[in-house]
Amino acid sequence: MPETDSGVVIVDCGDSAVMARAMGSDAEHNWRLVHTLADAIDSVRLDGVHGIVPTYDALLVEFDCAGTDQHTVRRVLRHEADRLGKGPLHTATARHFVVPVVYGGEHGPDLPVVAEQLGITEQEVVELHSGSDLTVRCLGAPAGAPMMDGPAFPGPVPRLASPRTRVLPGSIAVAGRQAVICPMPSPGGWPLLGRTPLRVLDFAADPMTPYRPGDTFRFQPITPDQWDDHAGLSLAVSHG
């Protein structure tokens, strides 16, 4: 049976995971709540837990059945959710990243299609995509891809009818009302607007990605001739 209180519903997911979902009417509060709850569960260091995955309004806690059980995980989740519900939510200070992007052409082959779908020009797509800070809401697949709020397009962007079998690392994509950077080669069904020459993922670093949920990205158009000026550099916090 679902357990609910403090605006959070807690349910079992199979025999080795438990999900907590924020059910409030304020999407921003729900997002902050599940990410604050994820940090709280991580700090508990509960035996057997090996995965804590917060998204937009839900948190999945994965565990080894040999180390703990659903009842214990639910109890800890409920305790932390009730505790957080009694006060303001404290989240980490957002950091800012500036990402140079070559739009269109071989780097953004779907730019013309997206412009046609939205009923605006390619330049307007670029201006909207690069015209405001986009907040990272969660880390997705593959390898901690930054799932961001999408730009202020006049409508949602359809996914590709036929996904690509391989998308290059650094590809800048949109779908629905979301935006993402592909950090490593992978299949993908999101339309590609461009590509950044920066290295987003570093397997030798801990963590492998420099960003976290709550950080913001600003995309900066560059020309193909400027690609080599940024090629191979790592994505880093902007202090400008």
**For 183-226, what is each residue's pLDDT tens digit?**
999 999 999 999 999 999 988 888 889 999 999 999 999 999 99
- Amino acid letter, 132: S
Q: What is the pLDDT of residue 141?
A: 83
3-class secondary structure, 20: strand
Given this model, what pLDDT does residue 110 score? 98
In angstroms, the CA 19 to CA 63 distance is 11
At residue 205, the pLDDT reads: 84
Q: What pLDDT shows up at residue 137?
A: 96
Both tokens assigned to 215 = 């950080």
Contact residues for 58 (Cβ-Cβ < 8 A; gap 6+): 19, 20, 21, 22, 34
Q: What is the pTM for the complete model shown?
A: 0.88
Tokens of 36: 């604050």
pLDDT of res. 30: 93
Q: Which residues of the chain have pLDDT under 50?
A: 1, 3-4
pLDDT of residue 1: 41
In this structure, the strands spanning 134-140 and 216-221 are: antiparallel
